[in-house]
Structure 1
């Protein structure tokens, strides 16, 4: 078992002799909190059915040829962790929550032959005997998808959820607004989608999610034990709000070379708005800001956060706060504090990019460290936690090298070994205490990423590398081991039709289990 290419690497693996056979005689038995356990068990049944193995539910946990899912909050297993025991006639999966059982299923999937990722039917499969005790190093293991610079469909987002859930990722952060486009329906401010959504980088048609579509994404993610974190960036990165409602504009102008007129009449909008900005079709940042002195701005934020909170069951709402270069610091600080208070008012915890640490943060607020370690330190000194996303290591939109056809390199070229070889507790010449780190997130910005195939290319294989950093204790990680294990996943991705990058740092033709 210890030689199998499991990613993220488990905490402990104990080998044994023999194997368990999955065939038509096997049953699944639920023990303890059965309804919750069934959610994880269904995921196992689902991918086994793809290869023709229909596994029914049974009742006798002491019978032979059973896969037992036991959910018992009283067990001595950490949150999201699991114990997996595979014997010749029984598989026993234990956890204190349903997510732990689900993550055990992802491990089982990787213990099975890569052929299970295809559709060729089989009569039996073998699991190696042994035991795994496993739990995550960090509670938050995330990916961010920028749907504002380029818009991606509900089905594209679901595909991303499917792929990242296999690596025990448990948060998907959706960047829902930026200068180029507004992507979520806000019923109290309808022009955000009538006008603000109809653009993207390059001047394309853009798009948006209705609230029902957003709820569909949230529910689908939850079925894979992933929590959605919505982001509305403010006070900068807000041109899509300013071209929808000029009343929010303090007088900013869009860079002339990237400005595209908004034809309000063509959109069926008869009321003129002289203060509204044109669309921004480029990738320049830092030119926009909300009017931080206007009461209307805070009513706008209140309405947006209220509607978003109502359809977001997860604990966090992200308020952005980055690169607001034209907002004076004396205006920025009270703005962030007011936005934070609104998020709190609606029962959510605030997240923001590391610049928000200039404001007075609540202990429940989280600063996402992307650029400046000193900002992260300021947040920690206030009693807040940080989410670690250093651009030089985790930004999935960075080119692998100078020959990569998509992506940028303003932060770094990030090859696979660069994405793997770092420690969240030691970044930017600063040492962070373990207790100060909520987790790790890998953002994928979409200035140059235009479709699902490009999302996959920039995400794989780097996302699994960052997933291992977030899940596996540092002492259990090594590039030598990871580079061999990831090679086996290439064959799985090919069967799944994933457009991945074949890093020259990996021998992709190496033998796999």
Structure 2
């Protein structure tokens, strides 16, 4: 009987490892660069019978496990078995919490098992994202396997900045809910943790607000898809546009949360308001004649700051926004607000006198601080573009610096928190190369990946002032981006460079990054992402996906 059991055990082991053996990756190349990597010879053999052993009752660990199992499912034909235990299992992937900062993790791959420790479920998620990059690319392609080798390595890692974000403009061009989820997947792959969702602008209102249905009936549509500089360009046969229902938004917020990404919505004010004014003309100083524009650029029509009805509208919109988005921060815009209509509006001029304001810049600050006070009553904080500095801001407002870094430097010196997203380094709608003839259409500019990587969020600040820098963000505006594969091309690989600035600020090395990003690009290929190839060596094994 003992011999029979022995041979049955041997047979079970052989069966578990039958099929193709997919060899380990040649080198341990991780983006963004971990704090510490010690690689050794040897491999851990991952099979369909390898257990994932959860040493904690925290149910959110299942988010990471399910996503990792989703990567292996095609190769093994089934997910790995998941168990809960109070003790680690030999030959398993053991997952535990404790003893580290929330986003910190350690990953120890040995020939006889894998140990993951996270300071929180988010740290565990990032450990699995690292493990994902250590899987052979054949797994990402879904090749069948009996054994998948993981390289022996000890990795200790944590991010430098708390805010590591990416922004998607869905107003200039609308993207489906599935496209938005793909954007979130790309953020997660690079260990970014904030999705800034630009939901309202002149060219389209994209969020359903129950109290104000015309915002999506009227404001979500314009007369053509492709934005032009001239208003007399040909119109489409049917209106162009779209919006996200509140159910779709809840689903996307939940989808992001399972990837430990916080969604920060942006509701633009007091400028970039044409779509809202076309829907409800009483919100503007003129009260009539508004359309959803099919041209890009800064528009003179803005919310009227003199009428209380405007603020009732803003509060009604924000009341529904905070119910949809659990984020600590709500972005309320504040950029590119022409003051010409305010200068000519009796109600706005009366507001200036009544509130004892000096000028229209202070009127904008009054507008923003009134919205901030309302949101504070809902337990939320605001983020605004750096123009909110011009008339004065509250101590609790966070500044997103986009017109270079000067606004962020000024805000940090005042003691306000700052997110650095300067157009000089972080505007991913600019051309990736100065050889633009064969490039996808861009709004202009030239932002090579080397420039993105060179961003120093602390530049111009002393040690005391640096504490106010929350992090960095890459922004993708879509005036000339109407298809999502074009969006992918503009994001990648520059988003990886910015992710390394945010995660590995103290540990950056561009030559090392180029080598590691070449490995990551093979995953881009396997997932079918479009990306620019300018940084990669001519003999790179990554195939051209830009055509």
Matched position secondary structure for 1:51: helix
The equivalent residue for 1:380 is: 412
1:395 and 1:443 in contact (8 A); partners too = yes
Matched position secondary structure for 2:60: helix
How far residue 288 of structure 1 moved from its aligned partner, in angstroms, is: 2.5
- 2:325 maps to 1:312: yes
Equivalent in 458, 479, 490 of residue 458 of structure 1: 490
Deviations 1:389-430 (A, max 9, x none): 010111110111241232122xx301121211221111xx66
- Cα distance in 2, alignment partners of residues 364 and 103 from structure 1: 30
Q: Which runs of 4+ in 1 moved over 4 A?
A: 429-432
Equivalent in 17, 30, 33 of residue 57 of structure 2: 33
- Cα distance in 2, alignment partners of residues 377 and 414 from structure 1: 22
1:96-495 equivalent positions in 2, closer than 5 A: 96-199=119-222, 201-202=226-227, 205-251=240-286, 275-326=288-339, 328-402=360-434, 403=436, 404-409=439-444, 412-426=445-459, 433-474=465-506, 476-495=507-526
- Cα distance in 1, alignment partners of residues 490 and 482 from structure 2: 11
For these two proteins, the number of residue pairs brought into alignment is: 481
The equivalent residue for 2:528 is: 497
- Cα distance in 2, alignment partners of residues 95 and 116 from structure 1: 25
- Cα distance in 2, alignment partners of residues 80 and 509 from structure 1: 36
Deviations 1:216-243 (A, max 9, x none): 1111111111111100111011100111
The equivalent residue for 1:19 is: 43
How far residue 359 of structure 1 moved from its aligned partner, in angstroms, is: 4.5
- Cα distance in 2, alignment partners of residues 406 and 50 from structure 1: 37
1:366 and 1:387 in contact (8 A); partners too = yes
Equivalent in 53, 57, 81 of residue 82 of structure 2: 57
Matched position secondary structure for 1:213: helix
Structure 1: stretches of 5+ with no match in the other structure: 252-273
How far residue 33 of structure 1 moved from its aligned partner, in angstroms, is: 3.5
When residues 3 and 361 of structure 1 are mapped into structure 2, their CA distance, relative to the original with a 3 A threshold, is: farther
The equivalent residue for 2:22 is: none
RMSD: 1.9
Equivalent in 498, 509, 512 of residue 539 of structure 2: 509
- Cα distance in 1, alignment partners of residues 385 and 303 from structure 2: 17
- Cα distance in 2, alignment partners of residues 391 and 59 from structure 1: 47
2:362 and 2:391 in contact (8 A); partners too = no
- Cα distance in 1, alignment partners of residues 390 and 75 from structure 2: 54
Deviations 1:62-102 (A, max 9, x none): 33210011023xx1x12211011111111110012111100
2:101 and 2:120 in contact (8 A); partners too = no
How far residue 310 of structure 1 moved from its aligned partner, in angstroms, is: 0.6
Deviations 1:100-136 (A, max 9, x none): 1001000001111112221221111111112111011
- Cα distance in 2, alignment partners of residues 374 and 417 from structure 1: 21
- Cα distance in 2, alignment partners of residues 25 and 220 from structure 1: 28
Equivalent in 95, 103, 117 of residue 69 of structure 1: 95
- Cα distance in 2, alignment partners of residues 314 and 135 from structure 1: 22
- Cα distance in 2, alignment partners of residues 4 and 111 from structure 1: 7
- Cα distance in 1, alignment partners of residues 538 and 141 from structure 2: 19
TM-score by length of 1: 0.90
When residues 90 and 152 of structure 1 are mapped into structure 2, their CA distance, relative to the original with a 3 A threshold, is: same
Structure 2: stretches of 5+ with no match in the other structure: 1-24, 228-234, 343-359, 543-547
Deviations 1:428-452 (A, max 9, x none): x666843111111100000000011
- Cα distance in 1, alignment partners of residues 247 and 84 from structure 2: 38
- Cα distance in 2, alignment partners of residues 201 and 443 from structure 1: 20
- Cα distance in 2, alignment partners of residues 21 and 362 from structure 1: 56
TM-score by length of 2: 0.84
- Cα distance in 2, alignment partners of residues 276 and 308 from structure 1: 28
